């Protein structure tokens, strides 16, 4: 089969249906019957890939989705989960028990899991900012087994060098997992750059319509399959109804993301020229700190950007409250544009000092650009910024 993403998004993994449906049917069944005990044992003992029990993920709708998910990240195997956090936690419990290093500004739930919950299970964890990367070799020498990071990060769109970090980690026998949620497989392929795993909050660009919660983990079969058992017994498998909805969404993924890339660039340029905007953080802007690295490792710059409003936190809050097309909601990647003020939502739990240390100012507004006309979004921002 082709390796072109658009074709894979439409065709990869689709089951041949006896009634001629062009798409995999939705099997809501929790269990699947067999003609004999020998036939059951073939599936249970792994001699034949087949349907068996939905929580195991052995359901044709889920299996078809997983084939598509693997194909679009260029992976040997993929597992679909009931949320992005489910995918991350199963990964950490399977491959992170020797220790996890989390680089940069990960999603708040990830930070909480890594900083305070994994240590409760005796798993050593370390959080390093981008400015502290020189401490990574020392941690790897001490035997930390898994390096995890987002790139671009939330909300500053910081870039981490996937190829360089993977090379360093591998030299110490550690594995590398990249949360590719912000970029999506359209804009970045961490496995091709040397990472061992990709995780997604499929709730975002992969789902793309703010109407489903799901997660995905992709990588080499030998590394992904051990995670299967954790997913099974923690009960984290995606529901078949959501799997069908996610497969539906993936068929239009490149169209949506390419348009979001183009619109975000237009919005970023307009915001750079706006007198009420102090700073625009967008990997596609030539003067952005991470632009050169983004040019190397990304194919498109994404639909996420952050602006810093003149006048500080209160001015940013006023502008966010005045937006009409951008909805004030803490998510991203959907067809509708969303805005969040990190200091009052995603990073509200951090102390002001910690936000400052992480380079997150109260004046920041994070924009998730949807599929509306760019001019309408720019006009909405202009009226809100006053
Ligand atoms: N990773 C990133 C980058 C996210 O933004 C989120 C949620 O916002 C997650 C992971 C967690 O995903 P979910 O909400 O699907 O569990």
pLDDT reported for residue 339: 98
Q: How far is the CA of 385 from the centre of ligand 1 (A)?
A: 28
Q: Does 158 have pLDDT greater than 80?
A: yes
- Is residue 354 very low, low, confident or very high in pLDDT (cuts 50, 70, 90)? confident
Please report, to the nearest 10 degrees, the dihedral formed by the alpha carbons of residues 160, 163, 166, 171 taken in order: -130
* SS3 annotation, 236-272: CECCHHHHHHHHHHHCCHHHHHHHHHHHHHHHHHHHH
| 5-19, 202-216, 246-260, 291-305: range with lowest mean pLDDT | 5-19
Percent of the chain past pLDDT 90, that is, above it, reads 93
Q: Does 318 have pLDDT greater than 70?
A: yes
Over the chain, what is the mean pLDDT? 96
Nearest residue by C-alpha to atom 2 in ligand 1: 107
Segment 310-316 mean pLDDT = 96
Distance CA 268, CA 260 (A): 12
Percent of the chain past pLDDT 70, that is, above it, reads 100
204 in catalytic set: yes
Distance CA 151, CA 157 (A): 7
- Assigned token pair, 316: 């940013």
The residue whose two tokens read 């307009």 is 270
Which distant-in-sequence residues (6+ apart) come within 8 Å of 75 by Cβ?
A: 69, 191, 198, 218, 219, 220, 224
pLDDT reported for residue 1: 64
Contact between 62 and 243 (Cβ < 8 Å): yes
179 in catalytic set: yes
Distance CA 159, CA 56 (A): 36
Q: Does 349 have pLDDT greater than 90?
A: no
pLDDT reported for residue 46: 86
pLDDT reported for residue 350: 84
Q: Does the global pTM surpass 0.95?
A: yes
Distance CA 190, CA 178 (A): 7
107 in catalytic set: yes
Q: Does 17 have pLDDT greater than 90?
A: no
- Is residue 3 very low, low, confident or very high in pLDDT (cuts 50, 70, 90)? confident
DSSP label of 211: -
Q: How far is the CA of 181 from the centre of ligand 1 (A)?
A: 7
| 241-250, 347-356, 366-375: range with lowest mean pLDDT | 347-356
Domains observed in the chain: 5-250 (3.40.640.10), 254-385 (3.90.1150.10)
Segment 27-44 mean pLDDT = 96
Nearest residue by C-alpha to atom 4 in ligand 1: 107
Distance CA 315, CA 325 (A): 18
Q: What are 64-102's pLDDT values in tens digits? A: 999 999 999 999 999 999 999 999 999 999 999 999 999
Q: What are 185-196's pLDDT values in tens digits? A: 999 999 999 999
Alpha-carbon dihedral sign for residues 333, 338, 343, 348: negative
Q: What are 260-269's pLDDT values in tens digits? A: 999 999 999 9
Residue from 83, 86, 103, 109 whose mutation best tests the ligand 1 pocket (most atoms within 8 A of CB): 109
Q: Is 351 left (phi over 0), alpha (psi -120 to 50) or beta?
A: beta
CA–CA distance from 355 to each of 25, 335, 361 (Å)?
47, 29, 7
């Amino acid at each position: 089969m082709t390796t072109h993403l658009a074709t894979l998004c439409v065709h990869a993994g689709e089951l041949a249906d006896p009634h001629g449906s062009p798409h995999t049917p939705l099997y809501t069944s929790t269990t699947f019957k067999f003609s004999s005990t020998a036939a059951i044992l073939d599936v249970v003992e792994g001699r034949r890939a087949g349907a068996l029990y939905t929580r195991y993920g052995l359901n044709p709708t889920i299996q078809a989705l997983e084939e598509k998910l693997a194909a679009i990240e260029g992976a040997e195997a993929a597992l679909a989960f009931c949320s992005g956090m489910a995918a991350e936690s199963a990964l950490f419990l399977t491959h992170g028990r020797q220790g996890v290093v989390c680089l940069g500004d990960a999603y708040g739930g990830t930070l909480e899991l890594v900083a305070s919950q994994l240590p409760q299970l005796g798993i050593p964890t370390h959080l390093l900012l981008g400015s502290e990367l020189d401490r990574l070799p020392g941690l790897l020498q001490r035997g930390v087994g898994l390096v995890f990071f987002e790139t671009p990060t939330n909300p500053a769109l910081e870039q981490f060098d996937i190829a360089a970090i993977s090379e360093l980690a591998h030299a110490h026998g550690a594995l590398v997992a990249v949360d590719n949620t912000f970029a999506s497989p359209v804009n970045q392929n961490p496995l091709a750059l040397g990472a061992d795993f990709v995780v997604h909050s499929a709730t975002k660009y992969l789902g793309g319509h703010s109407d489903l919660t799901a997660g995905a983990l992709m990588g080499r079969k030998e590394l992904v399959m051990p995670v299967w058992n954790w997913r099974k017994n923690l009960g984290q498998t995606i529901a078949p109804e959501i799997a069908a909805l996610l497969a539906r969404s993936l068929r239009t993924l490149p169209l949506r993301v390419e348009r979001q890339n183009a619109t975000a660039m237009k919005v970023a340029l307009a915001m750079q020229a706006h007198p009420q905007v102090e700073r625009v953080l967008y990997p596609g802007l030539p003067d952005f700190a991470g632009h050169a690295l983004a040019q190397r490792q990304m194919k498109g710059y994404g639909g996420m950007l952050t602006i810093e409003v003149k006048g500080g936190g209160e001015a940013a809050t006023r502008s966010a409250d005045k937006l009409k097309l951008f909805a004030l909601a803490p998510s991203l990647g959907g067809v509708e544009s969303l805005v969040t003020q990190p200091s009052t939502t995603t990073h509200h739990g951090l102390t002001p000092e910690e936000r400052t240390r992480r380079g997150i100012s109260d004046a920041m507004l994070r924009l998730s650009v949807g599929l509306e006309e760019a001019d309408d979004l720019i006009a909405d921002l202009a009226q809100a910024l006053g």
